[in-house]
Amino acid sequence: MKTHSESRPSFTRSRPKWPRVALALGTVGAIAAGCFLFYPYLKGGYDRLRGNLTQTFVDDTARAGLKRHHAGANWLGTFSVSVMDYDNDGHADLFVNNHERHRPYFYRNNGDATFSEVYEEIGILENPVGPVFGAPRISSATPGFFVWLDPATRLSGTWHIRWIAPAATPVSGTLTTNARIARAEKVGFSATDTLRTEESVIHFTGVADGTPKGIDFTSTFPESTVEFDLRYDGKAEPQRVHIGPRGVTPPALPLSLSLGDRHATVWGDFDNDGRTDLFVTRGAMVGLLKPPHGAKHEELFRNGPDARFTNVIRESGIRNDYGRGRDAQWVDYDNDGRLDLYVSNLGSRNLLFRNLGHGVFEETAVGAGLDLTGPTHFVWADFNGDRHPDILFSNPERLFLNDGKGHFAEVTEAAGLKHARHYASLKDALFWGSGAAVADFNNDGHLDLFIASGLGGGESRLLAGHDGKFTNVTARAGLGGLQDVTEGLWGDFDNDGHIDLYTISPHPASNRLYRNKGNGTFVDVTHAMNLELTDRLEWSLRTHAGGVATWMDYNGDGFLDLFLATRRPKDPQHQKPPAAGAAKAAPEPLPARILAFMKGKTPGTHFLLRNTGNGNRWIKVRLAGSASNRSGYGAKVFVTTPAGTQFQEAGASTKLLFAQNDVPLHFGLGAYGKATTLRVVWPDGREQVLHDVASNQVVRIDETSGNHD
């Protein structure tokens, strides 16, 4: 066999080197970038700090149409903030509740990332603080009945009442207050007009002559409920009654004006008509009420078809006689499909109002074993998984389990919640004790607790729950050493499927945001998220105390934004910006700062901080109960993706310190485009399961029909 080989000519060509070098560098860069971007996904979880460097919070307060400096100028400033959709238009509205006599703000969401202030339009009467109408400024061309409180006499509580009616019009009225009348003086009365004063009642009659007439009176202490029964010629004309600085018109007569502080603002559909209602606690009164001066009324506002509110507290049976209302929460503790109400008091026993239906309640705290005196901060949730709501007090910690028959038994020590701190006085309980917040931070299907330290020493704690028992995991989670914290807010701000924690402190620039890393630990991302509030926003924030806050998706983009109402102590060393290059002044001791805080008169500041978001997905769940209460409070929602299962309990997950939000439950999905399953367990045990639920939507689920959209 003959073999041969072929020789092929070879060619050589000279090529420039720079294209190959550029190609190599580009390839290496692309590989490195790909590893950088996709490593977190390959790892099994989306790490925002690595995967998206652009997410932050920006100040949208002015652009959204909110007031920057609020009127809560006393030592507590804004007392609570709450979020709801009061007009059922699918957009989150905001109620800002200021302490003492300063008017609240009610912001309706316009649906375009802006708000309109509608407080005077919706029937929630404001505290009637002046200066508004002085006698020389009232024109006879404006008939009506004018009521306001003189702010210059805050400590003595001087009220001004003026009426203007056409000549020869009979005018009569009765004013009742729950404090003794210290003095009452006629203004512009004629010889035929009469004024008669009893211990806590003023009666007046007369004939109008077209000029301002009225009464100036002072009660023995200012923070009291004042009730007016007004008549014009026997006919009530509420459109001619003007209350407070802007001539607010009450929805009906007789009208009730409450001068006591507004504290808790809690939202829930107590009459099951599909519209969320509002309960407000009142009463930081100077001294406790004693008979015969009457009972102070809380406020129960029923939401009507026209999205206006009517105070129905009188007919509801809800009375807080001689109590100083603090916190409150709607809960269906007996699972009868109607929302009940628990109210805590300072200095008197707490109250449990069972909803009997038809807008009527009965007080049952004694029979239930919940007539405690002392603890004011609490949260209702099903801690042991038996579908019956339990109650946890956080100042000091006490856990009561619901036996499902209307009775509660304390299991504090057995649950691992023994707390050595005790409060020596009411003042300590009020100022030092703070709230608890529930969430399933480790996605194990059990509710966990963050308990704020308060201001009385000690540290905040993170407690992992399992079947009604709790283990302290604070240090392991990287949250050790958190002192002087008044509240914690749970919310998945980066939508990675792991719920994060925002903590509030009364010290300037001390609020912190902790990102849940998904492995049981947290990392402080306050600075990275532009939330340090020392030099990134206006200077005044350097000395504003933490105040109160809430998560809310105000612009509907699926990312939780932060509304923050700061408080500002009156501290002389912080009244003006420090000079350039000046050394930072040493802070005053804590007791001195607290005293200055309490005496402060400078206003706090509102901030609406928009979350710019990232590429992560989300789902919101809105429940509509039928056999259960309409708000769905007590129902449990489980959202599953390939990364695991998240869990929240409606009504409990949205309970804040002195507030209860009525909003859809919010779940982050990370990079996943759908939830594998969405499971709802209603309070009666009924379950509904949805499969392959697309992300980036609000899922509304009806209990009876099972329909969802």
| 187-211 confidence digits (pLDDT tens) | 888 888 999 998 888 888 888 888 8
**Are 346 and 426 contacting, i.e. CB atoms less than 8 angstroms apart?**
yes
Question: What secondary structure letter does DSSP report for 62?
Answer: H
Chain-centroid distance, C-alpha 637: 22
Higher pLDDT, 88 or 539: 88
**pLDDT digits over 135-168, tens only?**
445 565 667 777 777 656 544 567 788 888 888 8
Q: Which two tokens stand for residue 563?
A: 């509304």
CA-CA-CA-CA torsion for 77, 83, 86, 87, nearest 10 degrees? 110
Classify the C-alpha dihedral 178-183-189-195 as positive or negative. Answer: positive
Q: Strands of 659-660's sheet, edge to edge?
A: 309-311, 299-303, 277-282, 262-268, 659-660, 655-656
Higher pLDDT, 393 or 8: 393
Higher pLDDT, 276 or 164: 276
Q: Distances from the Cα of 465 to the Cαs of 333, 439, 650, in angstroms?
A: 21, 10, 17
Within the chain, what is the greatest distance between any pair of CA atoms? 147
Which residues have CB under 8 Å from 683's CB, separation 6+?
A: 332, 335, 387, 628, 629, 634, 635
Neighbour-count burial of 24, counting CB atoms closer than 10 A to its CB (0-12 exposed, 13-18 middle, 19+ buried): exposed
**Are 181 and 200 contacting, i.e. CB atoms less than 8 angstroms apart?**
yes
Q: Distances from the Cα of 326 to the Cαs of 65, 96, 102, 191, 435, in angstroms?
A: 30, 16, 17, 47, 12
Instruction: Say whether the peptide bond before residue 292 is cis (omega within 30 degrees of 0).
Output: yes
pLDDT confidence band for 257 (50 / 70 / 90): low
**Are 369 and 407 contacting, i.e. CB atoms less than 8 angstroms apart?**
yes
3-state secondary structure 202-238: EEEEEECCCCCEEEEEEECCCCCEEEEEEEECCECCH
Which residues have CB under 8 Å from 45's CB, separation 6+?
A: 496, 497, 498, 518, 643, 670
- E strand segments, 29-154: 57-59, 78-84, 93-98, 105-109, 115-117, 144-149
**pLDDT digits over 8-24, tens only?**
333 333 444 555 555 55
CB atoms within 10 A of CB 617: 23
Does position 439 have pLDDT exceeding 70, yes or no? yes
**Are 565 and 265 contacting, i.e. CB atoms less than 8 angstroms apart?**
no
Neighbour-count burial of 256, counting CB atoms closer than 10 A to its CB (0-12 exposed, 13-18 middle, 19+ buried): middle
Chain-centroid distance, C-alpha 617: 26
Q: Distances from the Cα of 448 to the Cαs of 282, 362, 437, 503, in angstroms?
A: 30, 32, 8, 16
What's the length of the chain?
Answer: 709
Question: What secondary structure letter does DSSP report for 337?
Answer: S
**pLDDT digits over 440-477, tens only?**
999 999 999 999 988 766 789 999 999 899 999 999 99
**Are 162 and 204 contacting, i.e. CB atoms less than 8 angstroms apart?**
no
**pLDDT digits over 352-381, tens only?**
999 999 999 999 999 999 999 878 899 999
Q: Flag the least confident range among 47-56, 185-194, 490-499.
A: 47-56
For residue 35, the SS3 value is helix
pLDDT of residue 176: 74
Which residues have CB under 8 Å from 227's CB, separation 6+?
A: 175, 176, 177, 254, 255, 256, 257
pTM score of the predicted model: 0.81
